[in-house]
Amino acid sequence: MADFSGKLEEYLRSESFNSVHVNSKQALKEALADIIACTLAGTHTAAFEMVKKFADNQWGTGRSSVLSAVEKMSASGAALVNATAANALDMDDGHRLVKGHPGAIIFPAVLAAAEEHNISGEEFMTALLISYEIAIRAGILAHQLRPEYHCTGSWGAIGAAAGSGRILRLTGNEINHALGIAEYQSTYSPMMRCIKHPSMLKDGIGWGSMTGISAAYLAKEGFTGIPSLFETVEADPYLLELGKVYRVEELYYKPYACCRWAQPGIEALKELMQKHTLTNSEISKVKIYTFTEAASLSRKHPNNTEEAQYNLTFPFAAYLVTGEVGPNQVLNELGNPEILDTMDRIEIYISDVLDKQFPKRTLSRIEIEDSRGHIFSSSVHQAKGDYDFPLSSIEKKNKFYNLVEPIAGREICDEIYECIQKMENLSSIHELTSLLNINKKYGGIYHARTSN
């Protein structure tokens, strides 16, 4: 087995954002822009408001910002609240091999620790990079060692502890304990039960982020933990590639506010809509052929935002009716009668061929029958935004503006985006967080539309 204390400590000590390849730098800036946009949009959900009230009562004030809020909280409290927002609309980044969402769990933890210690933009980007690289590898290892389907909180907390530990300047022994504490106290949750019964628990991300940063602070105090999964034999190849392979370049980005498993069907729908003149009123039946996990998503009419996101037929029907699946659809269109009627005309089938490709690829195809009995069949599609089927740079930027501008206005949106592009030049992380306290500057036009 590779020497844990030597290899991982060396990586955590020597990694530097300024020294990595330009492709990795660009990938990390794209990830940062995406998760900031998703977090800001998520601050206008009911889940965010509930957790913010809880954290304010339980943790009190501190030096770490809560996005779109005047209040500042302790680092652990802010991480919990911001992480809840980051995943609240299910538009945050992901990685195929971990079956989850690293950005939403690590960004809030690293941001909270960074602000509390007032580090520079370059130091923040280094800690964020470390968090992504450790979290993704932890996710691969966690699923390898514990093959039952568990949530992002289970492995993401380890990445959050690693990045926070860099900011806290933990020693090799302390970081070992921090990762062990994070893994032991993380949320090995019954993920598929949450798929069947959607709730605000989502992917264990809020609690996982809070756990990760808390683990780093505990280790700094001398609190001890178990040997982490990076001390297993299976970790060897992932330790050896640190600093050589940057998995942040493998992230996927989500164009739609719903579970990734539902998104290949939307891409198949777009194909048929472009090839044929199809209107919703002419469609009598839709068949979606997909993999087992996607087929396990709900098909019921949603009663709340979470049920709309963890749904296979609602996003498909919403796109067919409105041409998009964004915050407006999963927050404000739940009772749209045309969408609900369309959902009732959709049938789901599991394909053995597509099933074998998961989780490396999430694939679906569809058949549409019109009112005259004509059948239209799509090719097999994967979800748009994967590293091998990426969103373009323009599409990523448009997503940022589509999420942030309705909340912040064009001027502040421009300032945030430009600040992200020059992060390594910031003397203080507060130059970024001052822009993210949007309610102080603009007021938030989105809140009135989405608060119910």
The predicted-structure confidence for 318-347, as pLDDT tens digits, reads as follows: 999 999 999 999 999 999 999 999 999 999
Closest CA to 47 of 36, 55, 35, 58: 55
Average pLDDT of every residue of the chain: 92
Instruction: Tally the C-alpha atoms within 13 A of residue 213's C-alpha that lie toward its C-beta.
Output: 31
Residue 5 has what pLDDT? Answer: 56
DSSP 3-state of 290: strand
Is it the case that residue 449 has pLDDT exceeding 70?
Answer: no
Closest CA to 182 of 134, 148, 144, 143: 134
Query: pLDDT by residue (tens digit) across 16-43?
Result: 999 999 999 999 999 999 999 999 999 9
Closest CA to 183 of 219, 214, 155, 149: 155
Q: Are 379 and 16 in contact (CB under 8 A)?
A: no
**What's the rounded Cα separation, in Å, for the pair 102 and 248?**
10
Residue 442 has what pLDDT? Answer: 45
Map out the domains of the chain with their CATH numbers: 4-250 (1.10.4100.10), 260-382 (3.30.1330.120)
Token pair for residue 267? 């891409």
Q: For the chain, what percentages of helix, strand and coil (3-state, to nearest 5) are there?
A: 60, 10, 30
**What's the rounded Cα separation, in Å, for the pair 158 and 10?**
17
Residue 252 DSSP label: B
Q: Are 36 and 436 in contact (CB under 8 A)?
A: yes
Is it the case that residue 198 has pLDDT exceeding 90?
Answer: no
Q: Are 144 and 235 in contact (CB under 8 A)?
A: no
Query: pLDDT by residue (tens digit) across 222-248?
Result: 999 999 999 999 999 999 999 999 999
Q: Which residues make Cβ contacts (< 8 Å) with residue 336, sequence separation at least 6?
A: 318, 321, 322
If you count them, how many residues does the chain have?
452
Helices (H), 262-304: 263-275, 292-295
**What's the rounded Cα separation, in Å, for the pair 415 and 419?**
6
Place of tokens 């980005």: 253
Residue 190 has what pLDDT? Answer: 79
Is it the case that residue 2 has pLDDT exceeding 80?
Answer: no
Q: Are 130 and 80 in contact (CB under 8 A)?
A: no
User: How many C-beta atoms lie closer than 10 Å to residue 6's C-beta?
Assistant: 11
DSSP 3-state of 228: coil
Q: Are 102 and 152 in contact (CB under 8 A)?
A: yes
Query: pLDDT by residue (tens digit) across 111-146?
Result: 999 999 999 999 999 999 999 999 999 999 999 998
Confidence of residue 60 (pLDDT cuts 50, 70, 90): confident
What is the helix (H) or strand (E) element at residue 363, kind and residue range? strand 363-370
Closest CA to 165 of 135, 207, 143: 135
What is the helix (H) or strand (E) element at residue 48, kind and residue range? helix 46-59
Query: pLDDT by residue (tens digit) across 406-444?
Result: 999 999 999 999 999 999 999 999 999 999 988 644 444
Token pair for residue 401? 């503006």
Q: Is 68 left (phi over 0), alpha (psi -120 to 50) or beta?
A: left
Residue 6 has what pLDDT? Answer: 76
Place of tokens 């940062």: 32
DSSP-assigned letters across all residues of 76-130: HHHHHHHHHHHHTTS-S-BBGGGTB-HHHHHHHHHHHHHHHHT--HHHHHHHHHH
DSSP-assigned letters across all residues of 373-421: --EEE---EE-TTBTTBPPPHHHHHHHHHHHHHHHH-HHHHHHHHHHHH
Is it the case that residue 446 has pLDDT exceeding 80?
Answer: no
Phi, psi of 405 (to 5 degrees): -60, -40
**What's the rounded Cα separation, in Å, for the pair 32 and 12?**
20
Is it the case that residue 206 has pLDDT exceeding 50?
Answer: yes
pTM here? 0.93
